[in-house]
Amino acid sequence: MLEQTRVLRTFSQEDIESFKPEMKIGLLATVNAAGLPHITMISTLQANSPTEMFWGQFAEGMSKASIRKNPKAGFLIMTLDKNLWRGKASFSRTAKEGTEYDLLNNAPMFRYNAYFGIHTVYYMDLVEQGGKEPLPMGSVIQAAVKTMVAKTLAGKGSGKPVLNPFTTRLLDKMDNLKFLSFIGADGFPLIIPVIQAQTAGSDRVIFSSSVYGNELKAIPQGTVTALFGMSFEMQTVLLRGTYRGVRSIGGFECGEMEVDWIYSPMPPKAEQVYPPQKLEAVSSF
């Protein structure tokens, strides 16, 4: 399903070295208990051998519980030079000590942090990956311009107040990063860059299919998809909704996602934003 010319079963030594820097984007796509896609940013994601990946946990979150119940995962790593690696992996085990545990806790991000460190290391067996692929920045910029024009003609949607001002601002900023995930026929979630994505109305996100178009067109209409947005100030948001396929909007072919769920993964407390949750008074202390 991925728009890649190769299917590799191992990482090269060059790949492994590329994953080591802390300053990179690491995304993990998992399947939650309801069978829906979820995306989490995991900056520690890397490989310790040609066939095994690992990452560290320092905070609680949905992805950790999900991957323990369903080991199928998708991953994306993007380095500062805008090269991508995407693929599938299968969760295998955890550890609270050992070489990788010491490596992560001795990294500057955690070694000098007085409040938290890595308490659990998660290991995954590589299933397949597509090798290094450059992010096609020229095509992404063109797709972003097409999306901006299309959104002015896309209409207002249902009018439901799903997308709040913070989410809208984060997704509409052109240089913020956005990624789409869905669960493939084999049960593994896949990740597609959709940096060109923009909000359209109060409950939709659209993105020109002029980049990664074969992948976007291959997603069946009605599929539940997740969209992860992040800024370089580390503000993040996760949306989920129904994929409406690719259609022409003002002469531009665009993928469209109807949003019905929003989640804030940011500390100090990750929580559901939409639908709004009922606040209950504390009755016991």
Give the residues across from 54 on adjacent strands. 46, 123
pLDDT of amino acid 32: 96
Q: Are residues 182 and 112 in the same domain?
A: no
DSSP string, 3-58: S-S--BSS--HHHHHHT--SSSEEEEEEE-TTS-EEEEE-TT-EEEETTEEEEEE-
pLDDT of amino acid 115: 53
Q: Are residues 119 and 201 in the same domain?
A: no
pLDDT of amino acid 112: 59
pLDDT of amino acid 234: 85
Instruction: Report if residue 7 sits inside a domain.
Output: no
**pLDDT tens for residues 177-189?**
999 999 999 999 9
Q: Are residues 126 and 142 in the same domain?
A: no
pLDDT of amino acid 1: 47
- Residues contacting 115, CB < 8 A, separation 6+: none
Our count of domains for the chain comes to: 2
CATH number at residue 51: 2.30.110.10
Tally Cβ neighbours within 10 Å of residue 202. 16
Closest Cα partner for 76 from 212, 205, 259? Answer: 212
pTM: 0.93
Q: Are residues 67 and 172 in the same domain?
A: no
Give the residues across from 26 on adjacent strands. 77
pLDDT along the chain (285 residues), means of 10: 74 97 95 97 96 90 92 98 98 96 84 70 97 97 97 82 95 96 98 98 96 97 98 94 96 97 86 85 67
**pLDDT tens for residues 210-260?**
999 999 999 999 999 999 999 988 899 999 999 999 999 999 999 999 999
Q: Are residues 109 and 177 in the same domain?
A: no
Compute the chain's Rg from CA coordinates.
Answer: 19
| Max Cα distance, the chain (Å) | 60
Query: CA 207, CA 245: separation in Å to the nearest integer?
Result: 11
Parent domain of 217: 136-267
Instruction: Report if residue 111 sits inside a domain.
Output: yes
